[in-house]
Every structure is written in structure tokens, then in C-alpha cells.
């Protein structure tokens, strides 16, 4: 552990740091083309950043006639930690300041074990990454959890699938453990930030990122920023009611999207199919493993099992029904589908698309791509904390 | 008509003008407390505004010891025009720069008559207001239409209930006719802006404003600004599908919210009730007028007619069902219910509230007021154009 990371002194330095994060090493001239600063002001701010060590020289820039200048890059020694806690697994990654992943570990974990047990595991994984040489220290950490978060305090609030976490001071506790600034957010927001940083949503200011996993949620990006809502529960689309007479949901209500197509509902329906004899593929898998997982449904569908395919398509239709309403309401520029259930693949995507293109107004869907996500939530976690570190005081 | 209105020269002047618009006459000291400007910079910018005539002296400020200074106010000669074109009526109002309404006329009108006929009527009403002395010139005009608008160009696009308007250059045409800058927006966005300016949504940065009338739409305010979506169709919630087996909608699909509870659906259902003999109140009104209107339903419900009350409650439930989904998704700080059907009153509001509080997550509804709107769309129209006029170049 070392002394506090230097921080940008003003909005110009913050902007320069984010540009270097996103674009990599740049000449001073190239940086000058991206910001509205006089040449002397730009030189002044870059020199200040060089003095703090947040930026370092990086070889000579290509000659453009006249005196050749040094490229600059963001300090290669900076390290961010990204932690993505899911309902049934955890991802931990270390990135440099350009948000390239230097080390990444993942393992199964039950979020219902509560925060103390979960963070013990997380810290053990962090230790593993440290030993592997990915990082000696961290300049900041972003942590995602599968439930609503009071963002400024970094505290989960009334998270339905996280018993024992309500009010736990994640931000404070982990900041002490790790010795660096920490931000905590809902996992779907991190998925959205990841896509914005390095995935399909770069340069898209308004988009939705729907996460299909054990829970179902939606990251909302408006004008380039995450919309979290007044109590941090924005994007909680898993409990939008499709049919008051539908199946009972873990939340206590009936007919929620999650009660039809969350991870548990999928396993429930697949198990019923296996037992009823309507799916030989699923029955075989159930017999050999004793239980089914979403991956089994995915494999059975890929093997051409009609009942499994039908299950995926029906789930996609339900999901598409909800997304169609969101598209009518929000008129986004892009819809990204991410999360564990995307293993269900193109059958799932096709059903979602069909439903949205059928139900939403043509004006809203005319140029609307609906695509699978590419980037892990841990990258979004690193992006989140780097935005914070690279902010003016 | 006169020469072009002066405009603020920079972001500080724009901010001062908006403060004077919203707060009324202020001392220089009071203004200084609202903006982050040095005393000399503030004095400089106010003097520039006084020179342009955008701001005028307004008597001596209360003594605070030392030399007494003049209050300033925004030029009382400035005039904004607000036009709110609905499906079946038009509102035209003149405001001063503090957005107080100086004159207001409204009359029935069928938007399906097309833009040429509609604007002829609008210009006649503007002439009436001019004659009444409300304004000799306009410094800007805001115009609302009941359909999606490509906002930068001020052109309606594919508006379902506005045949003949698709692609009509409203902004350009009316700017020429009126001789002042014009902005055009969807009517629900203007309703939201009106509530933000002078109604229930002052100081609420994130809220939804649902308009129930012939059409059903929703203004979305995020971080204090209107969210229009990538193609200007955000808030088009009237065509969110409640039930694929529901009644056919004017949009060509089935089971849309509007097909259940838009103005036409309400009249359709009320007429059926009157004819079936299940509502004596509605039957009487149908017989005497030859046709029913939403106002008849409102009056019948107010008179205690059980069938009319039931109609209102069922409509409120359907509307609440859609709003519940939006609340889960967007987690707003306030939901405002406005538009023509709010004449249906507290029975409507109670049904909407019941549904939202029942269906949306407690975290999203815990502190969520759902209230009736107070302000006409024309005030939002004036606010829209004044924001534009009081912007830095």
C-alpha cells in the first residue's frame, strides 16, 4: 500500500486524463485537437500532470516539421480493481489506467452467504491477483452488486436477492480493506459502463443495457451518463408485471418478468420439461447431473431439442415485450443484451428483436440495433472508479 | 415587427437572465449569491445586459448598509408566444419574460385539418391577442404539437393522429410568419416544462409528466432537461401494448393503452354504456347532445353514475399498469398526471396510484408523489423558447 494517488487539479486536467485513458498515448498536438484550450494553457496543464506523475512522457511524437515533441501517456503504474458480484459468481479483475485487463479471476459464489463471507472471498481473489503480479497497490476500485444501491454512500438498499446485505456499508468497508477510493453500483450499471468503455456502445450517448441472469435488470445511459433514479432503483425491470395471473415471483408479487424468465424460472421450467418427458435432451442432463442450469438449456437448444428451443423463444418473447415498452418510452439509440443467459444465443436475440420490432413504434425502431453485449462488468467497474479518480476536485 | 432581440453574449449572462426570469427583480447582491462570479465580473456582466436592454433597473434595493444599489429585472417589454396545438383544440398565450401569462385564448380545432388550416387559425388568434394589447411583437415562440417532432429542425415526423403534418416545416414556416425565433416540440414535453417552470415539478430534477387526452404521452425530465430520445419519439407510451388480444388501436396494432383509454376509446366505451342502458346518466347526455365527450363521462362520474365511475376506474387501472412499469424502469422523483382527461378527477388519480403502489417496487414508490398537473402547456412553450433565447451563443 502507498500514499494517496494524485488527482487532477481542475476540469481541464480531468478531461485530459480521460482522453488519455480512452485514446492511449497521444502527442500534445493530438490532445490539443480534442480540447478547447489555448496552446500555452494546454502545455501548462500537461506539465502539471507530468509533475504529479499522473502522466508520463512516452517517446517522441512523429515529426510534423519544427521541433519534435514528446508523446504523453497516462501513468502505466496506475491500477484499478473491478469486482462484479453476481447472484451465483464473482469476477475480479485488475486493469491499468487505460482499462486494459491485466489479470482476471472468476469463481462460483452465493451472494446469499452475506457480505462478510463474500468479501472474504473477494479479498482472497484480490490476493491471488496480487501474487500473480497484476498489481501491488490499487488507485481505486469499483464494485458491482446484484441489487439497488444508494450510490453516494455505496450501500445496498433492500436488495431482494441479497439477504443480509441491506444497509451494509460496502463502500466504506472495502475502501478500508483495500486502502483506496471505492465506488459501489448496481451490476447492470457496470455492464452498461463496460459496453460504453470498450464494447458495442462506444459513442452511443443514449442506450439501454439489459442484463439477463439470475435476476433481470437494465442499465440506462442518458447523455453519456448512467441514470440511477432518485433512490438508486432505476432499471429494475425484472419486476415489471406481465400478467397479474402469472407465476409467483420471489419478490412476493405475481407475473413479473423474472418469474417467467429469470435464471431460477428457466431452471424450474427446464426441470419440468425434463420430468414430463417432453425433452429427452434435458431429461438426460438432469439424470446425469442431478440438477439443471441455464447452460443445460442453452446446450439442449443448440443440440436442436425442440422443447428447449421453445423455452428460450418464449422467454425471449416475454423479455421482448418488456423491452418494447421501454423502447416506446425511452427511444434509445441502442439496446444491448448481456448477462449470463446470453449463452442462450441467437434464438434468444431473434425472439427479443421480433417482439420489439413488432410492438414498438416504427419511428423508435427504424434505426435501432438490438445486439448482444461483448464486455464484462468488471471493465465497467474499473471505468466507474476511473471516472471518479479522473474528476476535478 | 422590430429588429432582432438582443441575446446574451456568454454563459454568465444567460444564467443571469434565467435567474431573473425565474426569481423576478433582484438586487445585485442577491444575484451574486446565486452565481459563482467575482463581484467585479458580476457588475461587468450586469452592465453589459443593461446596455443591451435585456435587463433594466428596477428601483433601489433595500439598504444593507453602505451605498444602496439598484435592483435589476428582466426587460418588461419582452414577449414570448406559446402555442399548444392539441388533437381537438388549440391554446395560444402571450407571456412576458418572467413567463407570466398576459393573454390567453383557446378554441376547438381539429388537428386533422392539416398544418395550413391550423396555422391560419393560430395566426388569427395571435392577431386577436395583439389587438387586445398583450403584445406588439414577439421575441420568440414555442409551439407544441400532438406527435413526435424532429426537434432540431422543428418538423413533425410520422405523427399518427396528425394526417398531413408529416415533414411540414413548422419551425421555419412559423418563424417567417411571426418574425421571431421558433422552437417546436411534442405537446407532452411542453406540459412537463410548464410544470417545471410554474407547477408541481419546480426543483424536481427527474420526473415524468403523463398526458391523458385524445392521445396519451409522457414527458420525461432527466437532470432538469427534457429527454426526447434519438428520433424524438421518447414518451410515446400510448402505444405500449397491454394485451395482444385487446381492442384495435388507430395505430394499426392491438391492445395499446390508447385503444383502452385514449379520448376516443373513452367516448366509444361511454357511448356503448349509454346505448346498452347500463348508464342512465350517459344515456340522457347522449340523447340530448347526439354524441358524448370525455367531459360527459366526467360529469356522469361526478354525479355518482356507477357505470361511468367504473369506466374511469378501469381506465385509471390500465394507465397505472403502464406507469408502474415506467416507475420500475425510471425511478422518478415525481409523476404528474395532466391533459384533458384529468377532468375525470380524483377517481382517476386514485386508480392510477393504487396500481403503481401495488406493482412497482417499494424502493421506487416509497417517496413517490403522483399528483395532478397545474399548468397549461402554453407556459411550457414559453419556457422552451425562453431557454433558447437566454442561451449563450
| Tens digits of residue pLDDT in A40-87 | 999 999 999 999 999 999 877 666 666 667 799 999 999 999 999 999
Please report the domains of chain A, with CATH numbers, ordered by start residue. 11-74 (1.10.10.10), 80-197+377-389 (3.30.420.40), 200-372 (3.30.420.40)
pLDDT at B160: 79
Residue B393: pLDDT above 80?
yes
Give B-chain residues touching A330 at CB under 8 angstroms: 220, 227, 229, 234, 329
Asked whether residue A365 carries a pLDDT value surpassing 60, the answer given is yes
Q: Which of B148, B157, B361 sits opposite A239 (nearest CB)?
A: B361
- Mean pLDDT over A261-282 rounds to 95
Contacts (Cβ under 8 Å, ≥6 apart) of A339: A191, A210, A211, A212, A213, A216, A373
CB proximity A176 to B under 8 Å: no
Q: What is the pLDDT of residue A67?
A: 62
Q: Could you report the per-residue pLDDT of A163-203, keeping only the tens digit for each? A: 999 999 999 999 999 999 999 999 999 999 999 999 999 98
Whether A65 contacts chain B with CB within 8 A: no
**CB-based contact A330 B222, cutoff 8 Å:** no
Work out the minimum CA distance from B167 to partner chain A, whole angstroms.
13
The count of other CB atoms within 10 Å of the CB of residue A38 is: 9
* Grid coordinates given for A161: 436477492
CA angle A389, B332, B242 (to 5 degrees): 125
Among candidates B231, B251, B253 on the partner chain, residue whose Cβ is nearest the Cβ of A364: B231
Above 60 in pLDDT, residue B1? no
Return the C-alpha cell found at A194: 463496460
Which residue in this structure is represented by grid cell 414570448? B80
Residues in a beta bridge with B372: B337
A215, A163, A224: which is closest to A186 by C-alpha?
A: A215
Q: What is the pLDDT of residues A325-351, one digit of tens each?
A: 999 999 999 999 998 787 788 899 999
A235 inside 8 A of chain B by CB: yes
pLDDT digits (tens, 9 = 90+) for B188-203: 999 999 999 999 999 8
| Contact (Cβ atoms closer than 8 angstroms) between residue B83 and residue B121 | no
Quote the CA–CA distance of B109 and A242 in Å, as a whole number: 38
Mean per-residue pLDDT of chain B? 93
Instruction: Quote the pTM value.
Output: 0.93
- Give the containing element (helix H, strand E) for B85: strand B80-85
**Is A252 in CB contact (< 8 Å) with chain B?**
no
Q: Does B50 touch chain A (CB under 8 A)?
A: no
* Interval B82-108 mean pLDDT: 95
Q: Is A182 on the interface with B (CB under 8 A)?
A: no
pLDDT band at A2 (very low <50, low <70, confident <90, very high): very low
Category of A95 on φ-ψ map: left (φ > 0), alpha (ψ -120 to 50) or beta: beta
**CB within 8 Å: B223 and A228:** no
A393 pLDDT band, cuts 50/70/90, is confident
| Beta-carbon separation of A158 and B362 below 8 A | yes
Quick check: A143 and A119 in contact, CB under 8 A? no
What percentage of chain B reaches a pLDDT higher than 90? Answer: 82
Among B245, B200, B181, CA closest to B384: B181
Amino acid at each position: 500500500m502507498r500514499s494517496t494517488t494524485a488527482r487532477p487539479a481542475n476540469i481541464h486536467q480531468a478531461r485530459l486524463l480521460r482522453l488519455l485513458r480512452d485514446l492511449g498515448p497521444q502527442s500534445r498536438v493530438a490532445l490539443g485537437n480534442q480540447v478547447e484550450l489555448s496552446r500555452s494553457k494546454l502545455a501548462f496543464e500537461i506539465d502539471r500532470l507530468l509533475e504529479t506523475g499522473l502522466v508520463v512522457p512516452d517517446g517522441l511524437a512523429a515529426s510534423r516539421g519544427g521541433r519534435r515533441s514528446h508523446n504523453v501517456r497516462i501513468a502505466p503504474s496506475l491500477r484499478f480493481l473491478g469486482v462484479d458480484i453476481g447472484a451465483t459468481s464473482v469476477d475480479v479483475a485488475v486493469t491499468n489506467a487505460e482499462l486494459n485487463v491485466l489479470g482476471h479471476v472468476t469463481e462460483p459464489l452465493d451472494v446469499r452467504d452475506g457480505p462478510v463471507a463474500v468479501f472474504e472471498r473477494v479479498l482472497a481473489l484480490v490476493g491471488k491477483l496480487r501474487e500473480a503480479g497484476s498489481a501491488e497497490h490499487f488507485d481505486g476500485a469499483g464494485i458491482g452488486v446484484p441489487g439497488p444501491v444508494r450510490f453516494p454512500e455505496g450501500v445496498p438498499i433492500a436488495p431482494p436477492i441479497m439477504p443480509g446485505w441491506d444497509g451494509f456499508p460496502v463502500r466504506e468497508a472495502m475502501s478500508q480493506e483495500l486502502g483506496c477510493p471505492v465506488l459501489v453500483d448496481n451490476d447492470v450499471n457496470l455492464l452498461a459502463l463496460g459496453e460504453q468503455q470498450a464494447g458495442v456502445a462506444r459513442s452511443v450517448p443514449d442506450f439501454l443495457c439489459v442484463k439477463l441472469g439470475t435476476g433481470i435488470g437494465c442499465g440506462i445511459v442518458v447523455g453519456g451518463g448512467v441514470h440511477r433514479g432518485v433512490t438508486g432503483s432505476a432499471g429494475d425491470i425484472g419486476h415489471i408485471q406481465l400478467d397479474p395471473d402469472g407465476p409467483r415471483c420471489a419478490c412476493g408479487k405475481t407475473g413479473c418478468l423474472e418469474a417467467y424468465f429469470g435464471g431460477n424460472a428457466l431452471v424450474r421450467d427446464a426441470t419440468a420439461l425434463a420430468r414430463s418427458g417432453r425433452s429427452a435432451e434435458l431429461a438426460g442432463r438432469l439424470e446425469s447431473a442431478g440438477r439443471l442450469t441455464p447452460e443445460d438449456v442453452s446446450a439442449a437448444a443448440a443440440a436442436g431439442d425442440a422443447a428447449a428451443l421453445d423455452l428460450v423463444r418464449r422467454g425471449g418473447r416475454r423479455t421482448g415485450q418488456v423491452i418494447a415498452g421501454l423502447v416506446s418510452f425511452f427511444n434509445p439509440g441502442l439496446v444491448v443484451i448481456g448477462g449470463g443467459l446470453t449463452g442462450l444465443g441467437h434464438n434468444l436475440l431473434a425472439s427479443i428483436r421480433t417482439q420489439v420490432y413488432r410492438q414498438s413504434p416504427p419511428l423508435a425502431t427504424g434505426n435501432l440495433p438490438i445486439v448482444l453485449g461483448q464486455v464484462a462488468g468488471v471493465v465497467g467497474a474499473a471505468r466507474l472508479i476511473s471516472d471518479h479518480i479522473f474528476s476535478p476536485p
